[in-house]
Structure 1
Amino acid sequence: MFSALARLSLVSRIIIAIVLGGLVAYFIPEAAGYVSILGDLFIKALKSVAPILVFILVLASIANFKVGQGASNLKPILLMYVVGMLLAATTAVIASNLFPSTLILTIDPETQLQPPSSIAEVLKTLLLNFISNPVTALHEANFIGILAWAVGLGMALRHASDTTRQVLTDIADGVNHIIRIVISFAPLGIFGLVVATFAQAGLDTLEHYAHLIIVLVATMAFVALVINPILVAIVMKKNPYPLVFKCLEESGITAFFTRSSAANIPVNLDLAKRLGVSETTANVSIPLGATINMAGAAVTITILTLAAVNTLDIQVDMTTMIVLSVVSVVTACGASGVAGGSLLLIPVACGLFGISSETAMQVVAIGMVISVLQDSTETALNSSTDILFTAAVDLSRK
């Protein structure tokens, strides 16, 4: 049986793990306390290796960069990130108007959480993270700071001896080898995550907000299956869906259960290598995308904010909705720099409509109730888009 499983592709084994995890959660829910350790170990391993992986790969790539290797791909990739997020936020505005959601604002605010008070505070946090101490950045998995130091040291070491640059390449290869070992345990890790998620959350807590969840998930699915393919088709000038489904299959499924873009960086880098993407491009664009490319977060911020607006019967004109889309994109880019991710940035968007911070924090609390699906789908969209846009630009150039 083990030999047969070993011959299957990684995705096939992950799908089998998902099915088995669902069956165990349904028939033996008490096993969740024991099996969940597999998921915890897998996420811990990914999160532990991701910071050093990003630092070493970006450092080695820039130190060994040669003109013509493909760094020019970064500009169109960044452009796709920005356009994709703006279109995602606009789609969320349209979905909220076509299928308006309302909330039950009766739960106590999460007073222990401290959301940023304005976009200026979000940007300030990002700038402070940018100049963070390198050891602290690695310890806290501050990817903005990690990228800044890796790029700076990489540019300085471009003038180092060939031996020094070869050592960096060898270290990068060693880290890649460790990543392949960690990823090979993905089926076991996802099995544990599925059992824990389904056994603990179930569907009872989600019934009250079924409409809101459907709007959120359907909007993100529309972005993944319609908006993103259109952008990829424009860049590649051919049928985008084989690449779209490949990225959703191998990156989106893993990200759905790990619920961490940072933890999914090793998965995306491994997929980029197998797709034939230039390592020079992927080693920079994918960690950068995990930090700032947050289309799913833009959707979450927009829909939950407009749900609060509908609940409070606030009249909104089209100009304000356009401004909301831009604010959602800017705050979504700062999601990684604020504890609590996209949900804690909802009060910033609510401030556009004069909604009090107390009420906005109730919206955040509702978001946490539905986060078992909202956050999982959001992360799957965010992370799969990183590798999708990177591969689309790089492969089209080739």
Structure 2
Amino acid sequence: MIAAKKHGFFKNYGSILLLLGGILAGSVFGLLFKNEVKFVKPLGDIFLNLLFTAVIPLVFFAIASAIAHIDRSQRLGRLFMLMIAVFIATVLVAAILTILAVKLFPIHQSLVNDPAFTADLREQDIGQQITGLISTGEFYELLSRGHMLALILFSVLTGFAALRSGEAGSAFRAFLKSGDEVMQQLLMLVMKVAPLGLGAYFAYQAAVFGPQLFGTYARSLALYYGFGTFYFVVLFSVYAFIGGGAAGISRYWRNNLLPGLTAIGTCSSIAVIPANLEAARKMGIPEHIGNMVVPLGATLHKDGSSISSIVKIAVVFAMFGKSFSGADTLLLALGITVIVSIVEGGIPNGGYIGELLVISVYGFPPAALPAVMIVGTLVDPLATLLNATGDTVAGMMIARIGAGKTVKTAELHLKNGI
């Protein structure tokens, strides 16, 4: 029994532990052997280059294939639109409150003694910035990581075009599905060398910046885990109150233990779906609502990822000595959180897609990627807890707003053991 538990733990957390081990070993190497890091840094550069090149076709195939294979017989009814509205609203609430938390507890850390961290960022007016973000003048420019948002928009349009093409587009849809599978396997192969690649990169960073580098991560992690815990306890209680009044708060927390433990134990929102479906029934959410909200929420609704997106953006702004302020900067951050919460769910290691989106949208150089990757790795357990358990409380609100009488009936059924 104990051996089985250990096996399950390493199965769920093995990749994270290997990644952290590689980063720790690299950091120690960089601190002790500063003159030798020039020999290992190319390993980190090669890994980042592989990641950059693999992620472009992956994003295209994953998004286009998902849209191209939507079941056209299912109409997008009022309940579905209400679900999307609640998902987006909670993601934005999480992002806005995180921005306020960053303002109250700023991450003051500027790493400016290296050329990679003093590169000029793009300075454009808002019109030019929006145009450059969502479109390119040439097709080949879509293949650049600097135009990630434009690539996502193009992928969405391609998916809808394939969906509308009917029988004539069946071969192309099959190509998209096959390409999605191949690119997922490619990314998994690349990520197998992540402990070595990121370890080499962090050896270089530790040698250049010394102990101050780790102060940045310590502050960002303290911010995430502190605010994330507050959001989990307070905001989820508020959502439960909206969904069912004072009794709704009790009902939510009473039935949230198993999904919460499953989320922490597996670090996978998908793995929590069975526990969430059972919890949704016990919370009084009508079956037809729970069966829609929980599976779709596992991929489309991610409050934890929304919080981590803002923290990652704040970290990289701090590391480059830039001010995380201004209406255009903050609105762009909110837009990124919504896109990341939708896009990353259907992609393996999808958080890295959001991280690439951050550095491409704001024009940061590749040196920014390892910083946001390590933050994303370290916050993953709490992020998964927020992502997964936020689906049932969202279901309570959707049921209350869209079918209040049905919720009350379900509650009576539960009390009577029906």
State the TM-score, normalized to the length of structure 1.
0.58
Amino acid at match of 1:196: Y
Partner SS for 1:202: helix
Structure 1 residue 145 corresponds to structure 2 residue 150: yes
**Paired residues of 1:213 and 1:373 also in contact (CA < 8 A):** no
The DSSP-based 3-state class of the residue aligned with 1:294 is helix
What CA deviation, in whole Å up to 9, does each residue of 1:250-302 have, x standing for no partner? Answer: 6xxxxxxxxxxxxxxxxxxxx6666669997777779xx89x98312554489
2:134 equivalent in structure 1: 130
1:155 equivalent in structure 2: 160
**2:361 aligned partner:** 337
Alpha-carbon distance in 1 for matches of 2:376, 2:120: 21
**Hey, what's the Cα distance between the residues in 1 that align with 2:196 and 2:111?**
34
Matching residue of 1:200:
204
Matched, 1:116 2:119: no
Name which one, 1 or 2, has greater alpha-carbon Rg: 2
* Structure 2 Cα separation of the partners of residues 373 and 150 of structure 1: 26
- In structure 2, the CA distance between the partners of 1:326 and 1:297, relative to structure 1 (3 Å rule), is farther
Shift of 1:86: 0.8
- 1:209 to 1:144, Cα distance in 2 relative to 1, 3 A: closer
Query: Is the alpha carbon distance of 1:149 and 1:205 closer, same or farther for their aligned partners in structure 2, counting shifts above 3 Å?
Result: closer
Q: Partners of 1:101 and 1:17 in 2: how far apart? A: 26
Q: Does structure 2 conserve the Cα–Cα contact (< 8 Å) formed by 1:137 and 1:145?
A: no
- 1:186 equivalent in alignment to 2:191: yes
Pairwise mapping of residues 157-236 of structure 1 onto structure 2 (< 5 A)?
Answer: 157-162=162-167, 164-165=169-170, 167-169=172-174, 171-184=176-189, 186-197=191-202, 199-202=203-206, 205-207=209-211, 214-227=218-231
Query: How much does 1:90 deviate?
Result: 0.9
Identity %: 11
Cα offset, 1:104, TM superposition = 11
Name the structure 2 match of 1:19: 21
In the alignment, which residue of structure 2 is the partner of 1:295?
Answer: 310
Distance 1:380 1:295, change over 3 A: farther
Give the Å deviation of 1:26.
3.4
Measured against aligned partners, the alpha-carbon deviations of 1:199-220 in whole angstroms (never above 9, x if no partner) come to 2232773556887765444223
Contact 1:22 1:195 in 2 (8 A): no
Aligned-partner Cα distance in 1 for 2:378–2:70: 30
Q: Mapping of 1:348-359 within 5 angstroms?
A: none
Contact 1:92–1:302 (8 Å) recurs in 2: no
- Quick one: distance in 2 between partners of 1:56 and 1:131? 18
Distance 1:85 1:327 in 2: 15
- Unaligned ranges ≥5, structure 2: 1-6, 241-251, 274-292, 337-357, 397-418
- Segments of 5+ residues of structure 1 without an aligned counterpart are 251-270, 310-322, 344-367
Q: Which amino acid aligns with 2:166?
A: S
Distance 1:244 1:304, change over 3 A: farther
Q: Deviations over 1:29-76 (max 9, x none)?
A: 577556555544443333223222222222222222232689745433
Question: In structure 2, the residue corresponding to 1:116 is in which secondary structure?
Answer: coil
Aligned pair in 2 of structure 1 residues 393, 381: CA closer, same or farther (>3 Å)?
A: same
Distance 1:34 1:15, change over 3 A: farther
Supply the AA of the counterpart residue of 2:158.
L
Q: Does structure 2 conserve the Cα–Cα contact (< 8 Å) formed by 1:89 and 1:298?
A: no
Give the conservation status (yes or no) of the 8 Å contact 2:38–2:204.
Answer: no
- Partner Cα distance (1:156, 1:104) in 2: 45
User: Structure 2 vs 1, CA of residues 35 and 182 (structure 1 numbering), >3 Å: closer, same or farther?
Assistant: farther
| 1:207–1:19 CA distance, 2 compared to 1 (3 A) | closer
Normalising by structure 2, report the TM-score: 0.56
Q: CA contact under 8 A between 1:61 and 1:280: conserved in structure 2?
A: no
Other structure's SS at 2:123 match: coil
SS class of match (1:194): helix
1:93 aligns with 2:103: yes
Relative to structure 1, is the Cα distance of residues 41 and 161 closer, same or farther in structure 2, using a 3 angstrom cutoff? same
